[in-house]
Amino acid sequence: VPRETYMAVKMAIDAGYRHFDGAYLYHNEHEVGEAIREKIAEGKLWATDHVPEMVRPALERTLKNLKLDYVDLFIIEVPMAFKPGKDIYPKDENGQWLYHKSDLCATWEALEACKDAGLVKSLGVSNFNRRQLELILNKPGLKYKPVTNQVECHPYFTQPKLLKFCQQHDIVIVAYSPLGTCRNPMWVNVSSPSLLEDKLLNSLGEKYNKTAAQIALRFNIQRGVVVIPKSFNLNRIKENFQIFDFSLTEEEMKDIAALNKNVRFVELLMWSNHPEYPFHEEY
């Protein structure tokens, strides 16, 4: 039964299965493919598409690119807008960024309509501070809460206050740059030392026969933070998944949390003059 295959594959993906024995002969390729595509997809709304009328076309463009009917999650990438248009990094003739006034609640309502239209299952945000989250949470007539806030988070930037606030409101923190970025000085503040060279992370790695990267990832998932490590290397992609077969002690969790330097690697400086720049506020 096609529907059964489709449901079974989706359940298996949730359970951790990653190898599916489909075959033309079995007449199940279509269902297997559909289930896999639906499980992997997530999209982001870019800053030039915050104007409410542009939200749905932007999502439809994402769906077309992904060859999907819907995505599981669609998030506002930054709480600030650029001038709408084709240019994704718009500047004026003097090289100044062309900002646009943000109306986060209006953008959010347009996203809610996309969910009602079945184009997306869950809505989220990224790089929002507490005030900006509250703006959405306290919006009169709010239909759907943000389910996630994707922010920088790792042992050198642990986000204790924002994490607590989000947990109180059932918003999952998704940690970007959980390994401390690739340290490209073009966009990374490299004045903070390299995370993966940290002494404590490396000594705990020795104790558990893991790498510093695995300790950093385990720290976050063990406190309920989702991690999205980036790697183009097959061995490191595998390594970054091998974090569910050990646990850190409470004491070790505390010691790692104490590494927090309150310094961001990712400062999003191109936005620092925008009225909604999120990082001027404490959290």
Rounded CA separation 117/21 (Å): 33
Single out the residue of 29, 34, 103, 239 in contact with ligand A2P (rule: CB under 6 A). Answer: 239
- Number of residues engaging ligand A2P in binding (CB under 6 A): 17
Binding of ligand A2P by 205 (CB under 6 A): no
Rounded CA separation 203/210 (Å): 10
Q: Determine whether 208 is an active site residue.
A: no
DSSP helix/strand/coil, 145 = coil
Q: Which residues pair with 191 in a beta bridge?
A: none
Long-range contacts of 185-190 (CB under 8 A, 24+ apart): 187/266, 188/265, 188/266, 189/263, 189/264, 189/265, 189/266, 189/267, 190/265
Determine the interface stretch with ligand A2P among 46-54, 93-101, 159-167, 231-239 (rule: CB under 6 A): 231-239
Q: Are 122 and 72 in contact (CB under 8 A)?
A: yes
Q: Which of residues 132-191 bind ligand A2P (CB under 6 A)?
A: 177-182
Determine the interface stretch with ligand A2P among 85-93, 107-115, 116-124, 225-233 (rule: CB under 6 A): 225-233
Binding of ligand A2P by 5 (CB under 6 A): no
**Residue carrying the six token digits 């961001």:** 264
Binding of ligand A2P by 216 (CB under 6 A): no
User: What is the four-CA torsion angle of 188, 58, 75, 31, rounded to 10 degrees?
Assistant: -110
The residue type of 84 is P
Of 6, 17, 26, 277, which one is the catalytic site residue? Answer: 26
27 is in an annotated binding site: no
Single out the residue of 10, 83, 145, 236 in contact with ligand A2P (rule: CB under 6 A). Answer: 236
Residue closer to ligand A2P (CB basis): 143 or 230: 230
Binding of ligand A2P by 221 (CB under 6 A): no
> Which residues lie near ligand A2P (CB under 6 A)?
177-182, 196, 211, 213, 229-233, 236, 239-240
Catalytic residues: 26
Q: Annotated binding site for substrate: which residue ranges?
A: 100
